Copies of this chain bind each other. A is one copy, B any other.
């Protein structure tokens, strides 16, 4: 069977066949009319690569660093909730796949595995946080995560309240179903706690507070404007993730790859810029690097791998993306992620204005 799984699309189709409608739609779906969900993917097709030739690419590497971590590739695992819904080993299998691939596992605050279980995988790991409204809870979660070996806090800033996902209303899939599941009883942060603790009152002042509380670099996930990118730099963020929550929060927001340029330009190298949403090919990673990203995060792609074949499936998806990226770098004439520049992508047609007339008008 797996012989046929050549790319991320194949894994998505295979996962759709294996999962029941409710769980599949929960992970595949987006907010309202799912315009942003579709745009995230479609927008990559509108950015075109400008490959350079006759570059010696015999010594090409996908390795990079993100927040000082040495990674095998500029592709991290995005935080995705409730991974045991698609596979019994859930986040643990995903973390093992990440570790084996030499990249970072971002654990969702809505995880269905404990911190100790993730720590046991020894994967480099970041912890995604929705801000608890109770400061005591917030302090407890944050310091606990730091002690459990997470090396960065990924603060989700595009969810002061939860988006409306109509697919879940139609399939009847609900978080309440999950809460009865055995493996949630011992989670460090149960989904019920997490959802109840989502605070609509978080502001820029909280960024430095969480940095102090945790002693960890704070990554702001959900910045999509130049204005907020500048505020992130000024308020102590270590990095931003250009993200629209995979199209699951506010429908009608631009594709992340389309707003990456304005964020990268506003940040101007002061902090690192990451991007997620819509990445399905290694060449998409090249485009993101060219438009100013240090690295990308992928959520659904390895999740479909997990759904299809557990750790092995997630690992295979990561390897497919890594191999595609390696090839795309070579064919773009770049020997490393660092060599990709803004000049390696363009958009639309450049129309020359100078007309070389070869004959006079009749």
Interface residues of A (CB under 8 A from B): 4, 6-7, 32-33, 35, 44-58, 60, 157-158, 160-161, 163-164, 166, 169-170, 199-204, 206-207, 220, 222-225, 227-228, 231, 249-254, 258-259, 261-262, 264-265, 269, 281, 283, 286-287, 292, 324, 327-328, 330-333, 338-343, 346-347, 349-352, 354-359, 361-362
Contact = CB atoms under 8 A, between A and B. Distances in A.
Contact of A331 (B249, B287, B333): B249
A48 B254 contact: yes
11 contacts: A46-B349, A48-B254, A49-B252, A54-B204, A56-B201, A60-B200, A250-B331, A341-B357, A341-B358, A341-B359, A343-B355
A54 B349 contact: no
Given A170-B6, A352-B261, A352-B265, A228 B324 contact: no
A6 to B, nearest CB: 5
A278 to B, nearest CB: 13
Task: Sort A-B residue pairs by CB-CB distance and give the 5 closest, nearest first.
Answer: A250-B331, A53-B157, A342-B355, A58-B200, A48-B254
Contacts of A53: 157-158, 220, 222-223, 228
A269 B169 CA distance: 41
Majority SS at the chain A contact face? loop
A236 to B, nearest CB: 12
Given A206-B54, A207-B54, A252-B287, A358 B339 contact: yes
A200 B330 contact: yes
Contact of A261 (B57, B250, B351, B362): B351
Q: How many identical chains are in the complex? A: 4
B252 A283 contact: yes
Nearest to A204: B54
Given A49-B253, A338-B358, A358-B339, A228 B330 contact: no
Contacts of A231: 54, 361-362
A252 B224 CA distance: 24
Contacts of A249: 331
A327 B7 contact: no
A51 to B, nearest CB: 5
Nearest to A163: B331
B355 A51 contact: no
B252 A48 contact: yes
Contact of A4 (B55, B160, B170, B356): B170
B32 A200 contact: no
Contacts of A157: 53-54
